Amino acid sequence: MNKLVIVSGLGALLSLAGCMQEGNMARAQTSVTAAAPTVEEAKAFLARAEEQLAQQGEELSHASWVASTYINYDSLWLESLASQRFTELSVELANEAARFNDLDLDAVDRRKMEALKQVLVFPAPNDSEKAKELAEIGSQLNAMYGAGEYCREKNGKQECLSGDKLENIMSTSRDPQELKDIWVGWRTVAPPMKPLYTRQVEIGNEGAQELGYDNLSVFWRSKYDMDPDAFAADADAQWNKVKPFYDALHCHVRAELNEYYGDDVVPATGPMPAHVLGNQWAQQWGNIYDLVKPENTDLGYDLDALVKKNIKDEVHMVKVAENFFTSLGFEPLPETFFERSMFVEPTDHKAVCHASAWNMDGKDDLRIKMCIDKSAEDFETVHHELGHNFYQRAYKHQPVLFQGSANDGFHEATGDTISLSVTPKYLVDIGWLEQEPGSEGDLGYLMKMALDKIAFLPWGLMVDKWRWQVFNGEVTPENYNQAWWDLRREYQGLVPPVERSEADFDPGAKYHIPGNTPYMRYFLAFIQQFQFHRALCETAGHEGPLHRCSIYGNKEAGEKLNAMLEMGASRPWQEAMEAITGQPELDASAIIDYFAPLKTWLDEQNQGRQCGW
């Protein structure tokens, strides 16, 4: 998976919508008295809150869908209005939930109270003007990103390219000057975001403090059923387990790119420039596999070519991915999914092409929004997206406040677990290959996977480390960009291809920053998916190397997966983890085991090289 995704909709509790007339808000506020709350009062409040969320939840989902698939002044205005209403209701419910902080509630009701306080990513203060301002900023930032483009001279004509098209060029171009121009050009969309983002953080911190958190950093890290500082420490501990592997991969990739491009583009020592790794953000490196792959190692197949040969159109690609899930025992997607989803980039208006999965009503109005290309990357991404949709439907029977994943990493991990089963065995099972390639191709397969999975981990960690530092004041607007590149150098061993300054706002060139999507979910998911994969393969009775396993067609694995999915957010994530893997903790050992043969090979290749940066 190369395109990262978000989950939107009622089921994820991120696109819940709610509105309350001013008179009702005033009555609700005046009903809050100084009297000590009772358990009965708490239960009545929760029932009312969930009813409001269920009844009004579709408003923002639909407004956001239109604003994302048909960008214009009016769609953004409607989304902003719906977002303001949702924000005001959420703030009101969160503040009222805080009344019951000291009440002795049963575990289910206490969990619902905490969920109410954490529905919003950026909680607004209990001030309608600031709630409105926060909603407007969110819509503006999203629109800036979605409408962003880079214009260049091509064959004597001006050519303007969307972010999605620029990604496609960066995935295949080997012209260092073109790559540099595109890298710099896309980042021109971000500087106007900086003052808006700064103000957004100010308002969000006020809102978090009103809910009893020191700042947004603590607020974001409080959603993982453990102490916020302990959560951050565990993330670091898991990264440190994998870091030796990343260091070895970085060393080999740098050496191969230096040989290909020369010292002027990629130096033989020190950090690598960020524009030559086949991805706009250098977050995954699979697109440069041909430059760094092991010699005399043939995968035995070309997934890009197989997709182009076997896939008729975008709908067909989605149907193939849907078949994976039905082979596990899941019910097919509803017809409305195919009627209402966006599969192709519109030609007559602008839309946000960034792939995302939606549940509009917390029930069966499932959709994906994506500009699908007939490529290996998008073939895997579609499988990933449907993982979100099937997860959303699995927990639709849970109470509204539990219609989400065990933690936000579980949603991403579920999608990627399915992608891990897109192996040669799977391609044989669906008739795209006559037989699995021999083991001589395994090293190349693992290298291609590592360029996406291992290379991603430091990026997945540092994006929110930057935001945590911004939120707690450690990083100020005066050094946003410097801090960003300090972290990228420290964790990824990467530097910008041209000099940057505080006139730039390079974080804003990544969707999840203006889109306000927390990023730790991806770091967690890239570890959890290998835990899930290992456990499901054991259930399926797979024998042999883990990287050759596909659970396609195995009903027992499907039952085990579904049992975890149906839990939603009703229990601490550690219990959901134990339900599917047998262990309650996050554990990076599965990813290390999966790639062990490649690590041995990398260490051999790196002998005599000066590794590190």
* Residues 6+ positions from 261 with CB-CB distance below 8 Å: 176, 276
What are the residues facing 153 on neighbouring strands?
158
Return the HEC string of 315-334. Answer: HHHHHHHHHHHHHCCCCCCC
Angle of helix 442-471 relative to helix 228-261, nearest 10 degrees, comes to 130
* Residues 6+ positions from 234 with CB-CB distance below 8 Å: 226, 586
Helix (H) or strand (E) holding 359: strand 356-359
Sign of the C-alpha dihedral, residues 36, 39, 40, 42? positive
Query: Virtual CA dihedral for 128, 509, 285, 486, nearest 10 degrees?
Result: -90
Residue with tokens 């029932």: 47
* Residues 6+ positions from 210 with CB-CB distance below 8 Å: 91, 95, 123, 125, 126
- What are the two backbone dihedrals, phi and then psi, of residue 399, each rounded to the nearest 5 degrees? -55, 155
Residues 114 and 263: their CA atoms lie apart, in Å, by 54
* Closest C-alpha to 216, from 134, 101, 281: 134
Residues 397 and 438: their CA atoms lie apart, in Å, by 45
CA atoms within 13 A on the CB side of 265: 19
DSSP symbols for 533-592 = HHHHHHHTT--S-GGG---TT-HHHHHHHHHHHHHTTSS-HHHHHHHHHS-SS--THHHH
Count of Cβ atoms closer than 10 Å to residue 153 Cβ = 8
What residues are annotated to the active site? 354-355, 384-385, 388, 412, 512, 522
